[in-house]
Amino acid sequence: MILIKFKKLASVFLLLFLLIGCEKKEFEEFYERPAGLAQPIYQELEAKGNFALFLTCIEKAGYKDVLSKAGYWTIFAPNDEAFKKYFTQAGTGSVDGLDAQTAQKIVKYSLVYNAFKADRLGDYQSNLGWMPSMAFKRRTAYYEGVQEINVNGEKRLVIASNRNNRQGTDYYNVNDNNNKYIPYFLNEFLTAKGLSEADYNYFYPNVNFSAGFNIAGAEVISADMVAQNGIIHEVSQVLLPLPNIDEYLATEDKYSNFKALFDKYMVSYVVNAAATDKNNQITGTSRDVFVKVFDQGLIYSPNNENYLKFEDNDGQRESYTLFAPTNDALQNYLNNTLLENYKTLDALPKEILYDFLNAHMWNTSVWPTKFTNTQNSFGQGALFDPLTNVVDKKVLSNGLFYGTNKVQEANVFSSVFGKTYLDPNYSLMTRALSTALKPVLINSNLNFTLFLVSDEVLNAAGFSYDLNANTWRHTPPNGGASTSGSTAWSKLNRILNTHVVFGDNPDLAGNGIIETYEGEYIRFEQNKVYSAGNLEIKTMANVASKRTAANGTVYYLDKLLVEPQQNVGLHLSELSKTTGSSFKKFFDYLNNSAIYTKATGAILGITAGANYTLLVPDNAAIDAAIAQGYLPASNNPSATEDKEKVANFIRYHILDKATVVPDGKKDGGFVTLLQKENGESTTVTITNMPGDLTVKDMLGNSTKLNMAKSNNLSNRTVIHLLNGFLRFNIK
């Protein structure tokens, strides 16, 4: 009985064993690795047979396990021939001489996060999706990390900043390893950017680009080899991590003076608690870690491997550019330009150093064929000849580098603005011009005449700048209420605009009138210059000296061109008071009219802040106007109709919101202050030639200016004398 039960139990176990064995076989057959599926990267390289040296490098770097498992990589794999060339160039002889640290550099820099075939490498991974043919770099697995360096004679643990410090605080993110990028060049990218093979070969003159897919200075021998954990691209050279701009500058003595400007004035080493804690956890050391921080006044940090970080991957599509002058070129420019009025670099205002360095820095890629078109923060292209001025060119991990035998002659220094900016005796005018007109005055495509006055002259006129309150102040030198803030600035700004002439370069030894920046006019005669305000206080500014800039001429004055305090009517009154004045009869009618205020000289219709032209008929013309019924016989009529006739006559002789002088610049139709009965404006037509101006009235009659007695300055107005009068009809 027992034997029977045992046999039955044995049969059950046998059946179960057979069932389990069948299920395991079916399971393994179902989940078995398909025969055609690619192996991981390491095994695929092994199977190819021509990557033995790279595989040894991978093993020395400790990456065999990583590349033999699941993952998602793009790897730029140098073949055995590439390694043989590398060993010869490096003098190591063979792979046996390759140390683990170098092996890690080679392997990690060849590894790009995520798997990309060639048709995807050229696309930019934006926050909104793929942007075709816009990328030429990818982030690699390689980064530098904390390094011990000598800082001012002291050994410190230092890590590079990984942000651009534009806010003065956001210069380091402990979660960002500052991974280096590897550049590559595809035909699709070059075409999309308007570039060509010539742009590539400018940096790599001896490298073939015929296949249209190169990694830095290496050709891609075979692309798009699929592995289980990524994509393999076979390359013709061993690729070591490229230096960034900051690192490359440090290796080249011929730019040491340029680098010294950054090191001394633009770099600080700041202890960072997060970096210190992270390094302590990795190494077990308790030493502080310093971040190498570049000044927030620079448009980018040369040691930042990332780009702007407006998007996480924006380093794929763009990079920085630096033009670095050689020591001789830099010293020559310092001696002759920046230090012309300063004894040492330490004495230079930091703003000047910012502008000088930033003029050489582009936060975009300046490709060799795009020097002229790619503008920096000053609106200038790269002012270098790619063939004669560039002595060194490199594609680096975070940008393009050009060593040059000249400096970028920044318009901020070479323009008329530069003459005040680079002279400490004109600091107040520099500050004022920087606030109001700097972007205009540094435009190298425009021409200017600039009248400069020193701090001493501005102080004598009552102007000063309060650094503590960060505001302008004005104290009238002859007594009166002091003002500050916007009131003082408005006064100075109007004066400032009379010191800037757009487009003219007059011979001040002669005699003439010129329009200033906001439409007011000034006069000059025999190297003396004056405004309407100068006439009121009976003083002229003398021209002390003259200098030429790239976009105009600078005249140095011993007095300020001040703004007038009086209204137009009072200036006309002064003109009418001279013996035998040709302005007298017209002024007599104005003086007694209902549109004139005798106490202030205000004329109804002329508003503060606007420009006007007063066309005054001479005495004979007034007599003719009386004879023809345009004016009553009395200059102080009692009848309402006659008073209106006088008012209309005056209004028709004032150009509204326009100032015109006989310089050949403004002509055509101009509106007057007179309106027709239906409310329409009336006009005159002006024919303007240098030294000659003709006015045609609405009835077709023409009269000319009396040139000898015209061009009289007033408050935003010029007063001319006509040899006739202007006829009109208000019906």
State the average pLDDT over residues 598-610: 96
pLDDT of 463 > 90? The answer is: yes
Residue 391 pLDDT > 60, yes or no?
yes
Domains of the chain: 41-143+181-240 (2.30.180.10), 263-412 (2.30.180), 415-557 (2.30.180.10), 568-722 (2.30.180.10)
Could you list the beta-strand ranges (E) of 152-265.
154-160, 181-186, 213-215, 218-227, 230-235
Q: Which of the four pLDDT bands, split at 50, 70 and 90, describes residue 1?
A: very low
pLDDT digits (tens, 9 = 90+) for 533-554: 999 999 999 999 999 999 999 9
Distance CA(717)–CA(655), nearest Å, equals: 10
* pLDDT per position as a tens digit, 87-136: 998 888 788 889 999 999 999 999 999 999 999 999 999 999 999 999 99
- Cα–Cα distance measured from residue 90 to residue 565, given in angstroms and rounded to the nearest whole number: 79
Say how far apart CA 531 and CA 645 lie, in whole Å.
34
Query: For 130-171, how does the pLDDT look when each residue is reduced to its tens digit (9 = 90+)?
Result: 999 999 999 999 999 999 999 999 999 999 999 999 888 889
Q: What mean pLDDT value characterizes the chain?
A: 94
Quick: pLDDT tens for 473-502.
999 998 889 999 999 999 999 999 999 999
Write out pLDDT tens, residues 716-730: 999 999 999 999 999
- First-to-last CA distance in the chain? 141
State the pLDDT at residue 668: 98
Q: What is the pLDDT of residue 30?
A: 37
Torsion angle, CA of 635/636/641/643, rounded to 10 degrees? 90
* Contact status, residue 331 vs residue 152, Cβ threshold 8 Å: no
The confidence band for 36, taking pLDDT boundaries of 50, 70 and 90, is low
For 649-674, the pLDDT digits (tens) are 999 999 999 999 999 999 999 999 99
Does residue 346 register a pLDDT over 90? Answer: yes
CA distance 677 to 520: 32
Q: Which two tokens stand for residue 587?
A: 């002024």
More confident: 36 or 40: 40
pLDDT at 11: 52
Percent of the chain topping pLDDT 70 = 95
